[in-house]
Homo-oligomer: A and B are copies of this chain.
Amino acid sequence: MPKSTTSRLLPPADDHAARFLRQREADRAAVAEDYVELIADLLREEGEARAVDLARRMGVSQATVTATVARLQRAGLVETKPYRGLFLTRAGDAMAEAAKRRHDLMVRFLLAVGLDRETAEADAEGLEHHASERTLATFARFLAEQESKA
């Protein structure tokens, strides 16, 4: 029984697997991005990013922050000066900036389609990690079009 090409309620197994793979990669990257993004925010708005504040804002124990920051450090994203807070490397800065860009775009888009700010901010936290560049570009285009019509 040869599979007809139109039996694509399910995608070909390979494509299907590829999607989930990309998915898992995004998940792995997400935590790093969240920490880095938050460190950047704290630096910008409070002048420093202490581990204790990260713990509070991430809703996580200090021990977890220590461990995660160690990973980020190994990954070359973060630098620490004990009792002087956390700092971003160049790579970390770049990641933070990209994350912020995605986050803001996501929020603006959600607002544009009619969501309230509160939910938009909350959901963007999760959604921002799973929108491909192509999708983000589409959202940006949507915003531009909507603006030109207003």
Q: Which residues of A contact B (CB under 8 A)?
A: 6-11, 13, 16-23, 26-27, 30, 34, 41-42, 44-46, 53, 56-60, 100, 104, 108, 110, 113-116, 119-123, 125-127, 129-132, 134-135, 138-139, 141-142
Number of copies: 2
CA distance A25 to B127 in the complex (A): 14
With A6-B104, A18-B59, A57-B13 as known contacts, state yes or no: A135 contacts B121, CB within 8 Å: no
Contacts of A120 in B (CB 8 A): 135
- Collect the chain B residues with CB atoms within 8 Å of residue A121's CB: 8, 11, 19
Tell whether, in the assembled complex, residue A126 and residue B26 are in contact, meaning their CB atoms are under 8 Å apart: yes
- Given contacts A122-B132, A141-B114, A59 and B17 within 8 Å (CB-CB): yes
By the criterion CB–CB under 8 Å, are A114 and B131 in contact? no
CB pair A20 B59 closer than 8 Å? yes
Contact B138 A113 (CB under 8 A): yes
